[in-house]
Every structure is written in structure tokens, then in C-alpha cells.
Structure 1
Amino acid sequence: MDHYLTVILLGIVEGLTEFLPVSSTGHLILASELLGYDAATWAMFNVIIQLGAILAVVVLYWRTFCAVAMGLFRKEPTSWRFLRNLLVAFLPSVVIGLAMHDYIEVLLGAPQVVAWALIIGGVAILLIERMAKDNRFHGIADIPLARVVGIGLIQCISMIPGVSRSGATIMGALSLGVERRTAAEFSFFLAVPTMLGASTLELFKKGSDITSATVGWSSIALGFVVSFIVALLVIRWFVGLVSRQGFVPFAWYRIIAGTAALLWLAMR
């Protein structure tokens, strides 16, 4: 496949799946199997284009970030609770991520794990959507601290490729009484420190790859821009969709995609 076509396709995959409950990492792993490119060569590329998707959150929600920053300066309790909840939900992924990093690296090379995680995650979404009726919390700052800790711990399940960071966060929030739109937006905001931390760790551990840039810096820049633009469009669409229809369509997509991936991997 043409090099720049691969760059664009991977940028689209990252921007499209980073904030949907379908697993961007899982899709990138399956894409490497489907497109036949060397995943190791493109590892640093995949890390950096994630930052393009994260930038989309900052751009779309800049008013919220500015309001929180001003509120912190004015010592407003709501802004401090907003910041506290993000940091507390972020901390478990730091501790567990550092402890389990080597094991997670092994799983990243297992497309069968991704396929099964997609299916199991889809079934979990269907069950949670049916059972989660206690939607008492309608703002990120309103979520009690104990439930924030629970959301942060549940997010750590997404370290298994194919589970989905946004999916684990959203479903965890739903199951703990957070309404759909707030659960989705909490996953967006939580993605900023979580993905920045994960990307920084990868960049630190693979510093030699940064200087060599085997894929090429022009390709990395193109993938970053594509990921950013696609994520901008997806976030707006996603919030509107889940407010109206919930997460069931993504559950069925996961089950179908995971089953198709298992069949394809078995027939290779």
C-alpha cells in the first residue's frame, strides 16, 4: 500500500476511534494486520498522532477549560471539584500503568486479544445500558469522590487492547450513576491527562525512535493533522448521538467487528 495512503488511513482510524467506545489502540493493531505494515516501524507514529486527537478536545472545549482555570483563580468550589475529579480519576491509571507497562506491551502484539475484547466489551455495554438507570449526577463537578475513584479504577481495564479507554470510562460512569452526556464528556476531559501521560511515557522510553523518525516527520505531521480534524468531527457527532440513542449502536458494532476479526484471523 502507498505510504501516504497508510498515513491518512491510520490518522482517520485514530481520530475516528479515540473517543468512541470501540478502542483506538485495538483498531490500530487490527489495521496493522489488515494492511500488512510493520507495526514496530509505525509505533512512534501511532503514539504522536494520538496527541492530535487530544488537541481536538482542547479546541472544542476551550471555553470549559478557560472557565475552570478562571474558577480556580477565584477559588470557586465547583472548579476545584472539577479539577479534583479529573486528577483522582487519572491517578489509578498512572499507578497501574507504570506497574503493568511491560505486560501491556506484550498484549499490544496480540490481535486475538483485541478481537475478544471487542466482543466482550460490546456485551458489557448492552448489559450496562439495560441495567444502569440511576442517573443522578449531571455535571463532572457533581460526581462524589468515591464514585470518581471507581471510574478511575474501571478505566484501567482499558489497558487491555480492544477494551477502549473511553468505553471503560463511560460505562464505568454510567454504572455509577452519571448520566450519558456527562459520562461522555468526562471521558473526553479525562483523556487529556491520561493520553498525555501515556504518550509522554512512550516518548521517554523510545527516545531513540524520536530522533530516527523511521516513518518520517512529514508523515507524522500529516497523520497528526488528519487525526485532529477527524476527532473534531467525531466528538461533536458522538455527544449528540449518545444523548438521543445511547451506546447500543457501538455495542453491536464491537460485537460484529470482533467476530469478523476472529474469523479473518482464523482463516489467514
Structure 2
Amino acid sequence: MTDLLAALLLGIIEGLTEFLPISSTGHLLIAQHWLGARPDFFNIVIQAGAILAVTLALRPRLWALATGWRAPEQRDYLAKVVVAFLVTALVGLPVRWAGWELPETVTPIAWALMLGGVWMLVAERWAERRGDRAEVTWTVAVLVGLAQVVAGVFPGTSRSAAAIFMAMLAGTSRRESAAEFVFLVGIPTMFAASGYAFLELVGEGAVGRQPWGEVAVAFAAATVTGFAVVRWLLGYIKRHRFTGFAVYRIAFGALLLLLMPPGS
């Protein structure tokens, strides 16, 4: 398989999994086990492609926030998006500076997939007992920011799953409201992560050594597939629970543990 074809497949996988609560990073790392490892910069930048997709998919909501900021409710919502992003940045940067790197083995990802699936089943049922609440509180904003950091430290957790279910448990029990807020917070979060990774490469003088052709192909594929997925998901969760995604996580994680040799 050529490097460009592998990059195309990885971009499609990223676009398909970034917004579904099944862990895009976990799926990318597992795919790279067979398609060849890629640097962290590759993984971060193609995630930015998926975030560009959600920016396009949510452009009416973004436009409403940009043009309606004089309205107290719009200004309050926008401030909560900013707070969630700042919490992620202020907590996540020290983790990055401490030298954290993605794991090279599949086993911890498999466990994170299974445990996360069980947690999703329990959390959604618990959230449903709190009634149908669409409001995003300041507590929700802070906890969503922290959830994003936790998901970044433990691949297989899923940023969208961790943040959406944290929002639902903290008070925003309506699925589509929690998902929309998390996706909006993800826009500055992932663009900032990509920008930071690029600045690190510039500082190391390593920009010219990156596989830019592969990155571009994967970025485009992630954008196109991510746009389709986020449009579908926001409609799907208005009528369905997350149970199917949780079952998939548990089954996929168990399958990985059965098929992969110990320590791989």
C-alpha cells in the first residue's frame, strides 16, 4: 500500500470517528498499527481537518453567536464556550510540557474503549433521570474542559464521549444540546492544538521533514467525511440513545484484546 493511500484511509477513519463517541485517536493508533505509524503532528493536524468540518456544519450556529453577541443569552453561551476552552488549555498545556506522548501499544486503548462503553451506558441512564434540560451551566463548561484533557491523556476514551457525557451528567441532559456545546468547544481546542504542534516543529527546525503531501490528503479526507458524520449525528441523537455506540466500543475493545498478542 502506498503512503498516500494509507494517509487517505487514515483521514477517512479520522473523519468517521472524531465526532462519534468511539475515540478517533484510539482508532487512528490501531489503524497505524497496520498502516504504519505517523508522528503526533500528523494525528493532530488531521483532527483539525475534522474540526474544520464541524465548523462548516455548524456555521449557522456560529454565525448566530457572532452576530447576536449583544443578546445576553448568546453572550453568556459564548462565554461558556471560551471558559471550557481555557480550562482545557490551562490544564492540558502542563500535561504536554511534562512530555506526555501517545502510547505505542493497543492494549490500553482496548481497555479504554471497553470501560468507556460501560460508563456511557450507566451515564446516559443516570442523566435521563434528571429530565430534559438543554441549559449549559458554568459547571458544565468547566467540567467539559476537564473532560477534554482526560480524553487526551487516555487514548480510547474519546474526547466527544467524555465531554458529552460529562455535560449530560452535570446538568445538560438533552443529548443534542450537550453534543452541540462540545462540538463548539472542540473548534478552538483542536485548532489551537494543531497550531501549537506546528510551532513546536518550527522551533525544532523540523517543518521540512514532515510528510506534507500525506498530511494534506488525510486533512482533506477528514474534512469531507467529518462534515457528513456531524450532520448525521446531530440528527440521529435527537431520536436515539448512545447505546449502539457503547455496545460497539465494548465489543471492539474485547475483540482487540482477544486478537492482539500480549504487550502489543
TM-score, reference length from structure 1:
0.90
What's the counterpart of residue 142 of structure 2?
149
Is 1:137–2:130 an aligned residue pair? no
1:161 CA drift (Å): 0.9
Cα distance in 2, alignment partners of residues 126 and 264 from structure 1: 25
Alpha-carbon displacement from aligned partner over 1:84-127 (angstroms, at most 9, x marks no partner): 11011112211221111156733433322211111110000011
Once residues 33 and 66 of structure 1 are traced to their aligned partners in structure 2, the CA distance between those partners, rounded to angstroms, is 40
Aligned amino acid, residue 39 of structure 1: R
Choose which of 108, 112, 116 in structure 1 pairs with 2:111: 116
Match of 1:48 in 2: 45
* Aligned equivalents of 1:60, 1:69: Cα separation in 2: 15
Mapping for residues 137-216 of structure 1, pairs under 5 Å: 137-138=133-134, 142-159=135-152, 160-178=154-172, 179-207=174-202, 208-213=205-210, 215=211
The amino acid that maps onto 1:250 is F
Return the letter of the residue paired with 1:157.
V
Q: How many residues align?
A: 258
2: distance between equivalents of 1:104 and 1:33?
Answer: 22
Q: Deviations over 1:200-219 (max 9, x none)?
A: 22222223332222x2x332
**Which amino acid in structure 2 is aligned with residue 38 of structure 1?**
A
TM score, norm. by length of structure 2: 0.91
CA RMSD of aligned residues (A): 1.8
SS in 2 for 1:66: helix
Cross-structure match for 2:38: 39
User: Using a 3 Å threshold, how does the CA distance of structure 1 residues 102 and 29 change in structure 2: closer, same or farther?
Assistant: farther
Task: For 2:186 and 2:32, locate their aligned partners in 1 and report how far apart those are by CA, in whole Å.
Answer: 24
1:26-85 deviations in Å (ceiling 9; x for gaps): 1111111133x1333xx332222222111111111112111111112xx21112111111
1:19 aligns with 2:19: yes
AA at the equivalent of 1:106 = E
For residue 227 of structure 1, what is the aligned residue in structure 2?
222
Q: Secondary structure at the match of 1:237?
A: helix
C-alpha displacement of 1:144: 1.9
- CA separation of 1:107 and 1:49: change in aligned 2, threshold 3 A: closer
Cross-structure match for 2:2? 2
Conserved 8 A contact 2:148-2:162: yes
